Structure 1
């Protein structure tokens, strides 16, 4: 692995007015996770918004964000190829389970048949073979989380941003979902930035930890 591979945050600073919320430099190699911890309102999700390219203009930010040597800060959000998982799986209620996944497949993959094949293969990989025609509202919380993860992975992201995606799951399901998400990130070689207030999330991520909002 060369020094250019993975995510590099160089002197990233985010402010709201005169208040400095985030000051961070870090390298996150492919398959590794940087965990950013802090209380609500400390700037954790604001950092993800800066990385993903959708920072609210009320904030000011500076610093370099590079993935595999490519500077992202000058690119619009749609060209940054950042995959994001939120607290809620955000499945589209008007689409079937398989179409919820297929919608994320890049336009370079042509033809409805090929896109459905890829989406169904992703469902099978997630242990959800045969669930494609189901209404997403009929899925359990864990099943929805698996669909959301496969949807993100099929979008071919260059990094994965996690905005407390385990916080609404019960304890057993939370542990299973952590293992699934971090395992997949390692398998496909994605650099990951996780924001959380949960120490168990940080332990499961097993990587660098940066704390924000400390007195």
Structure 2
């Protein structure tokens, strides 16, 4: 049974050298996608970095990040339970396709082979486990990257322009596929993008930063 997670961003305030960048107070429910848009330098990447635990020293930030009612803003990045999906799939070149998926699985999982085979079938890549990731198409790489993230059992997801490097036709296909899977998994997600069509496909609230 899919778990229902929620992400609360309470009175988030991010500043760069004292200059206000982001002020945000909202809740992202299970399977919902909050889209954040804005010009370069508006604070989109800084918001992602604060939520993920990577905000640089030039920034100051305050406000609570609560994942399933647990405050996580003081935790190390690896303990926050947040998955990240970037512009590039970032598949490990020294691992096979199956190896990349296996990497995402928590260590306590004992059914890794079966889980990986089921995951490959689910994304339409049955029989591709031994392949070098470099031999995959852009869409296939994107599907493997998302499935690796889902296999890691995150409780929330951050998406940093994940469709921007795909061609137009594939972009629409991947939008629908990614958002469907996030909804099915019940994962609250925050999408940063420059593309209004991304926001429309996400179907959730849209916040525009100045």
Same fold by TM-score, threshold 0.5 exceeded?
yes
In structure 1, list runs of 5 or more residues that go unmatched.
none
Aligned CA-pair RMSD: 1.1
Deviations 1:130-176 (A, max 9, x none): 11000000000000000000000000000010000000000110001
**In the alignment, which residue of structure 2 is the partner of 1:118?**
115
Superposed displacement of residue 5, structure 1: 4.9
Instruction: Measure, in 1, the Cα distance between the counterparts of 2:5 and 2:151.
Output: 21
In structure 2, list runs of 5 or more residues that go unmatched.
none
Does 1:14 pair with 2:21? no
Instruction: Measure, in 2, the Cα distance between the counterparts of 1:179 and 1:56.
Output: 33
Q: Secondary structure at the match of 1:95?
A: coil
**In the alignment, which residue of structure 2 is the partner of 1:44?**
44
**In the alignment, which residue of structure 1 is the partner of 2:29?**
29
172, 191, 194: which one aligns with 2:191: 194
**In the alignment, which residue of structure 2 is the partner of 1:145?**
142
Q: Secondary structure at the match of 2:22?
A: strand
TM-score (norm 1): 0.94
Deviations 1:156-209 (A, max 9, x none): 000010000000000110001111110001101000000011110110011111
128, 134, 139: which one aligns with 1:131: 128
Aligned length: 207
**In the alignment, which residue of structure 2 is the partner of 1:100?**
100
Superposed displacement of residue 18, structure 1: 2.0
Q: Secondary structure at the match of 2:159?
A: strand
Instruction: Measure, in 2, the Cα distance between the counterparts of 1:135 and 1:42.
Output: 38
165, 168, 176: which one aligns with 1:179: 176
TM-score (norm 2): 0.96
Instruction: Measure, in 2, the Cα distance between the counterparts of 1:5 and 1:90.
Output: 26
* Contact persistence 2:31–2:189 (CA under 8 A): yes
Q: Secondary structure at the match of 2:104?
A: coil
Q: Which contiguous aligned blocks of 4+ residues in structure 1 show a shift greater than 2 angstroms?
A: none
Does 1:165 pair with 2:162? yes
Deviations 1:60-109 (A, max 9, x none): 11001111111111211111011110000000111000001100101111
* Contact persistence 2:5–2:155 (CA under 8 A): no
Instruction: Measure, in 2, the Cα distance between the counterparts of 1:177 and 1:45.
Output: 22
Q: Secondary structure at the match of 1:200?
A: helix
Instruction: Measure, in 2, the Cα distance between the counterparts of 1:101 and 1:20.
Output: 40
